[in-house]
Amino acid sequence: MQIKPIKSGKNNKLLYTVKSFLSYLIPNRYFRARLNSKITQIRSIDDSDFMKRVNYYCKLDGFSCLDKDALVIGCHKYNKNLRTTYFFDSYECVRWFDLKLRWKYCFGDITFIPAQPSIVKSRPINGDNRNSVLLKLNKIRHYIFVNDEIPFRDKKNKAIFRGKVLAKQQRVNFFNKFFNHPMCNLGDTQPYAGNPKEWVTNFLSIYDHLTYKFILALEGNDVASNLRWIMGSNSIAVMCKPNYETWFMEGTLIPDYHYISIKDDFSDFEEKINYYIKYPEKAEEIIRHANAYVEQFKDEKREFLLSLAVLDKYFTHTNKGYVK
């Protein structure tokens, strides 16, 4: 279900919600009757990158017996206590499978590895993260594709950031070091007690951001949610090596190839920005690599088949007697 961006550059959440509720009314048996044809379609895909992605998202390699508190899919119903986008994005996929299958999930910004195999939106990159099985969740917020018509060389020679800062340590550290710096346009979009009042500035749309050559992708609760649309634009993401990843596979990104890499203490920030201002052709190389990387996430039909394939593998490794 593709939702086109609104004027701000963000996806239309109201339209997404209406379409999701309408789809929710369709009986599940309609989808379950068609699962075998989808699995056959997946099996016929002659593309090593497809299975590479499936195995990246779901790293389970042996059988794992779920605890008794694991829920059956048939109990996955909408209620106001569930995060709406997480529910609909997961329901869109699990409804294709036998309602008696059991699963575990952790919705939200997950920065830990669950004790048992669980469906998550985000996970730590380092360590044994096989129990964190990635699914494409909260898509309406995280998967925005922009049409950037401004060439890199015509943009402003500054780095920009807008977003919530409180309790997001990487952002707090950067603001402490570079707020009011001549090479930066920084702003906290949601005032909280505890942060300097001078940090609070005006909201800027995504397309306002795209007038700048460099856009900071600073991790928040987990990943930097702006990274995807930055990498699809003619601007460049400036970021530290990521600690967390999502369906976007942040852990596979190559420093100074897909984005401008800066040290965790930001000590090389000025040097890196000045270098790419001086050598715009080097910056444009990174932009081409980033744009090419983003392309793999734009095919909605393929993305959905990948989601089904991930769940198929998850159920195979967690449910005895699972029959496709």
Same domain, 87 and 189: no
pLDDT at 97: 96
DSSP character for 259? Answer: B
Contact criterion met (CB below 8 Å) for 28 and 316: no
Contact criterion met (CB below 8 Å) for 314 and 252: no
CA 272 to chain centre: 25
Establish if 242 belongs to a structural domain.
Answer: yes
Same domain, 119 and 194: no
Tens digits of pLDDT across the chain (324 residues): 544 454 567 788 888 888 888 988 899 889 989 999 999 999 889 889 999 999 999 999 999 999 999 999 999 998 877 788 999 999 999 999 999 999 999 999 999 999 999 999 999 999 999 999 999 999 988 899 999 999 999 999 999 999 999 889 999 999 999 999 999 999 999 887 678 999 999 889 999 999 999 999 999 999 999 999 999 999 999 999 999 999 999 999 999 999 999 999 999 999 999 999 999 999 999 999 999 999 999 999 999 999 999 999 999 999 998 876
pLDDT at 7: 52
pLDDT at 21: 84
Instruction: Determine the structural domain holding residue 43 and report its residue range.
Output: 13-143+299-318
pLDDT at 4: 47
Establish if 6 belongs to a structural domain.
Answer: no
Same domain, 177 and 234: yes
Same domain, 53 and 127: yes
The helix, strand and coil proportions of the chain, stated in percent and rounded to the nearest 5, come to 40, 15, 45
Give dist(CA 102, CA 74) in Å, integer: 9
Establish if 229 belongs to a structural domain.
Answer: yes
Same domain, 182 and 60: no
Count of residues in the chain: 324
Establish if 309 belongs to a structural domain.
Answer: yes
Identify the burial level of 51 via C-beta atoms within 10 angstroms of its C-beta, where 0-12 means exposed, 13-18 middle and 19 or more buried.
middle
pLDDT at 321: 83
pLDDT at 158: 98
pLDDT at 6: 47
Instruction: Please count the other Cβ atoms lying within 10 Å of the Cβ belonging to residue 36.
Output: 10
Q: Give all strands of the β-sheet with 105-106 in edge-to-edge order.
A: 105-106, 118-120, 132-134
Same domain, 130 and 170: no
Establish if 4 belongs to a structural domain.
Answer: no
Establish if 188 belongs to a structural domain.
Answer: yes
Same domain, 108 and 216: no
Same domain, 307 and 222: no
What pTM was estimated for this model as a whole? 0.92
Q: Is residue 195 left, alpha or beta, with left meaning phi > 0 and alpha meaning psi from -120 to 50?
A: beta
- Residue 230 sits in a domain whose CATH number is 3.40.50.2000
Same domain, 160 and 287: yes
Same domain, 278 and 156: yes
Give dist(CA 95, CA 74) in Å, integer: 8
Q: How many domains does the chain have?
A: 2
Same domain, 204 and 285: yes
Establish if 176 belongs to a structural domain.
Answer: yes
Same domain, 227 and 137: no
The structure tokens listed for 50 are: 């497809």
Establish if 122 belongs to a structural domain.
Answer: yes
